Amino acid sequence: MQKQDVRFSLVSLGCARTLVDSENIVAQLRDSGFRWVPEGTNEHVTVLNTCSFIQAAVDETEENIRLLSDRKDAGEIRYLVVVGCYPSRFKKDVLKEKFPNVDLWLTTKEEDQIQHALSQMVFGSRFQPVKPQPHMKLTPSHYAYIKISEGCDNWCSFCTIPKIRGKHTSKPIDVIVEEIKKQVSFGAKEFNLIAEDTTAWGEDLFGKPDLPRLLYAIAEVPGVEWIRLMYIFPHRVDEALIAAIRDIPQVIPYLDMPVQHCNTRLLELMNRRYSGPDLDTLITTLYKEIPGLVLRTSLILGFPTETEEEFSELMAFIAKYPFAQLGCFSYSEERETKSARLTPKIPDAEIRSRIKRIMSAQRKILKAMQTEWQDQTVQMIYEGNGIGRSYREAPDVDGRLLVKNPEGLISGQFYDVKLKTPKGYDYHVEVCG
Ligand code: SF4
């Protein structure tokens, strides 16, 4: 088989962090002469990049493997490759027995070997890498996810990620800056910094975390217009970071800061290293120091032992400190984690009821915020098809701006728009004349 004839497709499950890994996999395979095609177009190889941090993600991954195995049985694909979190979490021997149709399993730490391993498998000893091809993005050209570190050392008691992704390792500053320059050359203006914990960046390089140093360096790159911080860990937000967010014009006043809960007893059981009062002080300071700040957070409902009073405390907390964007997760018991041994468990029906109550309160909170924002003029990055986002909305996870008069707008460009009428999580806007 000629290299040019080998077509591969890639299915990426999970979050933006997996998506960044998927971009690297696509680049590696294209560099060795494989041709990237959409899934289901008679490809020879299908690569499934997986997620498995909770049971629901494991179930989704296994369902996808089963579907692809059926396609292989039907002769629609020749090789099936499964990479990422799923083979990192479970023993390969067990997986091989469970899914014999999978030809190659690679953990997150082995992803860099995919080019070699797959080339050997398809071409055997005849493999010779061809010259690199242009980089392909899986996101639109005007924004990029930049993964600034790998792994996590926080060991939250409910989380499997430190085991799956390993020790926290920061990417060096010059590597990140080069990556950003390359993305600018593709047309990117918005940079969404991601990691398991972005605020841990630099700890392994300098002996202490130093995200501000990285932010100042990124802001120096010509063409960088928005820098958005995702996945910040409350315990590591200090004065220097707040000052950098406030003082660097490109850093937009949007912070994704998963707090998980506000009750000190539960936070201790979760091994989160901050208390309820710490959160009160931090959020008050953030709103005081950073004009126009919007916060996104995520919460875990039904953590073992959570009482009705502690849940009420959380309801009062989100009313006192309104989050513009809020995601709610039901506690998922993962057998390798410390919290799996905690009792009493909260019944599923009770968890569902708590989530319903939180989300109903959140809808009212957001509505009140949206009323405050009415008639404001904000800068919007235009996505195309009548849809845009302001600094208040991160790609993929938040609401959208619905443009009433999109004629003549160019996707990837910035426009000033007036906020007219809210619609659920979205907002109807009009481009300013
Ligand atoms: S900080 Fe995030 S990734 Fe790290 S252990 Fe905690 S929940 Fe998991």
Assess whether pLDDT exceeds 80 at residue 171: yes
User: Using CA of residue 365, residue 371, residue 372, residue 378, what is the dihedral sign?
Assistant: positive
Tell me if 143 sits within 8 A of 186, measured CB to CB. no
Predicted local confidence at residue 203, as pLDDT: 97
Percentage of the chain exceeding pLDDT 70? 96
Longest dimension (CA), the chain: 67
Predicted local confidence at residue 302, as pLDDT: 97
Predicted local confidence at residue 15, as pLDDT: 86
Taking residues 374-393, what's their average pLDDT? 97
- C-alpha–C-alpha distance, residues 98 and 298, integer Å: 34
Tell whether ligand 1 has an atom less than 6 A from the beta carbon of residue 159.
yes
Q: How confident is the model at residue 134 (pLDDT cuts 50, 70, 90)?
A: low
Per domain, the residue ranges of the chain are 3-126, 143-371, 377-431
> Whose C-alpha lies nearest to ligand 1, atom 3?
196
Percentage of the chain exceeding pLDDT 90? 81
- Find the Cα–Cα–Cα–Cα dihedral 57, 62, 68, 70, rounded to 10°: -150
Q: How many CA atoms lie within 13 A of 128 on its CB side?
A: 4
Predicted local confidence at residue 98, as pLDDT: 96
What pTM was computed for the model? 0.91
Predicted local confidence at residue 33, as pLDDT: 80
Distant-in-sequence, close-in-space partners of 74: CB < 8 Å, separation ≥ 6: none
The DSSP bridge pattern shows strands 35-36 and 79-84 to be unpaired
Tell whether ligand 1 has an atom less than 6 A from the beta carbon of residue 231.
no
Angle between helices 114-123 and 16-31 (to 10 degrees): 50
Assess whether pLDDT exceeds 80 at residue 215: yes
Query: What single-letter DSSP state applies at residue 133?
Result: -
> Whose C-alpha lies nearest to ligand 1, atom 2?
196
Going by C-alpha positions, the residue among 286, 202, 209 that lies closest to residue 243 is 286
Taking residues 415-424, what's their average pLDDT? 96
pLDDT digits (tens, 9 = 90+) for 281-294: 999 999 999 999 99
- For a mutational test of ligand 1's pocket, the pick from 148, 154, 339, i.e. the residue with the most ligand atoms closer than 8 A to its C-beta, is 154
Would 3-126 and 143-371 be classified into the same CATH topology? Answer: no
**Class of residue 124 by CB neighbours under 10 A (exposed 0-12, middle 13-18, buried 19+):** exposed
Q: How confident is the model at residue 321 (pLDDT cuts 50, 70, 90)?
A: very high
How far, in Å, from the CA of 286 to the mean position of ligand 1? 22
Using alpha carbons, list the distances in angstroms from residue 287 to 35, 284, 375: 49, 5, 22
Q: What kind of fold does domain 143-371 have according to CATH?
A: pyruvate-formate lyase- activating enzyme (3.80.30)
pLDDT digits (tens, 9 = 90+) for 45-97: 999 999 998 899 999 999 999 999 999 999 998 999 999 999 999 999 999 99
Predicted local confidence at residue 2, as pLDDT: 54
Q: Atom of ligand 1 at shortest distance to CA of 159? A: 8
Taking residues 175-198, what's their average pLDDT? 96
The DSSP bridge pattern shows strands 377-384 and 387-389 to be antiparallel
Long-range contacts of 115-119 (CB under 8 A, 24+ apart): 115/28, 115/29, 115/31, 115/32, 118/8, 118/29, 118/32, 118/34, 118/45, 118/79, 118/81, 119/32
Tell whether ligand 1 has an atom less than 6 A from the beta carbon of residue 196.
yes
Distant-in-sequence, close-in-space partners of 184: CB < 8 Å, separation ≥ 6: 221, 222, 223, 224
Between 2 and 260, residue with greater pLDDT: 260
How far, in Å, from the CA of 271 to the mean position of ligand 1? 10
Q: What kind of fold does domain 3-126 have according to CATH?
A: Rossmann fold (3.40.50)
Q: How confident is the model at residue 311 (pLDDT cuts 50, 70, 90)?
A: very high
Assess whether pLDDT exceeds 90 at residue 5: no
Long-range contacts of 233-237 (CB under 8 A, 24+ apart): 233/154, 233/197, 233/198, 233/199, 233/200, 233/257, 233/258, 234/259, 234/272, 234/274, 234/278, 234/279, 234/282, 235/272, 235/273, 235/274, 235/278, 236/197, 236/199, 236/200, 236/209, 237/199, 237/282, 237/286
Assess whether pLDDT exceeds 60 at residue 381: yes
Q: How confident is the model at residue 135 (pLDDT cuts 50, 70, 90)?
A: low
CATH architecture of 377-431: Beta Barrel (2.40)
pLDDT digits (tens, 9 = 90+) for 143-159: 999 999 999 999 999 99
How far, in Å, from the CA of 233 to the mean position of ligand 1? 9
Assess whether pLDDT exceeds 70 at residue 132: no
Q: How many CB atoms lie within 10 A of CB 137?
A: 17
Output the six-digit token pair for 54: 């909770």
Average pLDDT, the chain: 93
Q: How confident is the model at residue 127 (pLDDT cuts 50, 70, 90)?
A: low
